[in-house]
Homo-oligomer: A and B are copies of this chain.
Amino acid sequence: MKKRLFTPGPISVPEDVLLEMAKPMIHHRTPEFLHIAQQSVEGLKYFFQTKNDVFIIAGSGTAAMEAATVNLLSPGDKALVISGGKFGERFVELIKAYNCVPVVIEPGWGNPVELNMVQDALKQQPEIKAVFATLVETSTATTYDIKGIGEIVSQKQDTVFVVDGISGLGAVECRTDQWNIDVLVSGSQKALSLPPGLSFISISEKAWTKINVSKMPKYYLNLKEYKKAMEKFDFPFTMAVGLVIGLKKSLEKIKQQGLENLWNIHQKRAEAVRKAAVSMGLRIFSKAPSDAVTALVLPEGIDGEKFCSDLRKEFGMSVAGGQGKLKGKIIRISHFGYQDEFDTIAVIAGIEIMLTRYGYKLEPGTGVREAMKVLFSL
């Protein structure tokens, strides 16, 4: 059975990238590899839209989230978290795990954040050292006003702005420098169309002032070591060579395509899925839906877990179910990775046919027609 991935990471990897990564292994401390690393870091700066330092970590997204936490904070520090889902909660967990004090704004799962709540929190608690937010909350497929929050935080001299851009970067607009993001983290298995295993973190000058005085215990994720090594485009520890080779290739393709075009493609795919879903009578879960991933509320009586499992078993099609309190209630479809318009049509067709098999009444082709209209401007 043919397999099709529409999960919000891992995603399908393009053939040319797979072949690049399948080439014979090289050593990580060779001029050949350091040159690849240098080009990758330059590509990442474009991908992040930043002039700041960007580091590559051999580890998945959470490693970079932890790097942000342990490098910026010292024990007992207070940090504000805008937590609208599972990955907002992860920042809260990280902050607690390292004996810091989280101040949490919870707009509710699927809801956008009100900027005045951020403003008020920072005014009332000026000792807050960092604000943690999420570009796209994968668990609810919600996007947040990062630009707006960045403006607020940039007014505060002693507070840095940290953004989890793991699911969103490359899929939706995000401009690190223009939007005053001090620390942006991302991962390989989303819009970069790579396997999981690498994460990335950018550090502004303002963030370095925090890192330089941090008293948090750390070793593998000590960014000062990464900076020292990066002077020679090297890494403090063994790097995941094959993945970085894939990263270089993927970033070259993104540079060639243009980041704005990449955002537009995701926007179109997401809009197609949203319009198709509405035409089939499904509700979009998020009140601020992202173009990276879409969460759909299934009709009453349909178990989302079983629905996902049936899509995989019957059609080889992987979409994600709900996480945490949304388990069984929603399905989530990613728009990033190696997919095209006809894949979007396929996933809509798959959902449509499966709904019919579940006894849901639908005129065949209802969703597909709407998706085709959006994707091909018919």
Contacts and interface: CB of A to CB of B under 8 A. Distances in A.
B345 A316 contact: no
A338 interface: yes
A345 B2 CA distance: 14
Given A4-B342, A342-B2, A345-B349, A369 B369 contact: yes
A378 B349 contact: no
Contacts of A369: 364-365, 368-369
Contact of A342 (B349, B376, B378): B349
Nearest to A378: B364
A94 interface: no
Chain A at the B interface: SS class: helix
A316 B346 CA distance: 16
A352 B353 CA distance: 20
Nearest to A354: B376
Categorize the interface residue count of chain A: 20 to 34
A342 B315 contact: yes
Contact of A346 (B317, B345, B378): B345
Contact of A340 (B1, B343, B353, B378): B1
Contacts of A342: 2, 4, 315, 317, 346, 349-350
Contacts of A349: 342, 345, 368, 372
Nearest to A342: B346
Interface string A142-172: 0000000000000000000000000000000
A306 interface: no
A345 B315 CA distance: 13
A356 interface: yes
A365 B349 CA distance: 11
Contacts of A339: 2
Contact of A372 (B1, B365, B372): B365
Interface of A: 1-2, 4, 315-317, 338-343, 345-346, 349-350, 352-353, 356, 364-365, 368-369, 372-373, 376, 378
User: Can you list the 5 inter-chain pairs with the closest CB atoms, starting with the nearest?
Assistant: A365-B369, A342-B346, A364-B378, A2-B340, A365-B365
Given A2-B339, A2-B343, A315-B342, 4 more contacts: A316-B340, A345-B345, A349-B372, A352-B372
